[in-house]
Amino acid sequence: MNKKSKIQIGLLALAVAIIIVGILFLLTASKIAPIFAAIYGLPNLILQYVIVIGVMAAGIMTFSNVCATVRDKKKRDALTLFITIFSTVLTLPLLYVFIALFPAASGRFDPVLGELMVKDIALAFQQVFKPLGLQYFIYSLGVVMAIVFLAFPLLTGVLTLKDKALIIGKGGIKIGILPAAQNK
């Protein structure tokens, strides 16, 4: 095994560890299992979820970036499909919650999941952001963030499967050949 492969395996292991910690933080913040007392003890639910989002984003981005460096196309495609589906499944509830917060700000909840997923979060936002207009602004930013969190991994996943990469540089944003796919 060469040095590059060892680094890739190490980074994938790190990404998986970060994702596992993020999932444990999520279980703690959602009060399913109080695994981390420090997270569980934070006074504001919003702060708990900000930590969850930050940790999960770091793990998913690390995993995704390592996937793009794998030279073996079958392995690269399998890893890319896994992390793209995983991030999409995790982000859809985030988008749902931010959309459901709009009616929740006025005391109306989705009859199926509203009370379960949204009420505590809506109350936490109402404590921090008192004016209703400010709450709606924050929820709008949350919807935009969730859409970006959905779109970017999907776009980069599709590009990676097609041996392409999103290149951001001095010349702007363009699509180029994935470096791992060159010089096979």
Q: How many domains does the chain have?
A: 1
* pTM across the whole model: 0.85
Per residue in 105-154, pLDDT (tens digit) is 877 776 655 566 788 888 899 999 989 999 999 999 999 999 999 999 99
- Please report the sign of the dihedral spanned by the C-alpha atoms of residue 52, residue 54, residue 57, residue 62: negative
Cβ 149 vs Cβ 91: under 8 Å = yes
What is the domain extent for residue 99?
Answer: 3-181
Distance of CA 73 to the CA centre of its chain: 25
Give φ, ψ of 11 to 5 degrees.
-70, -40
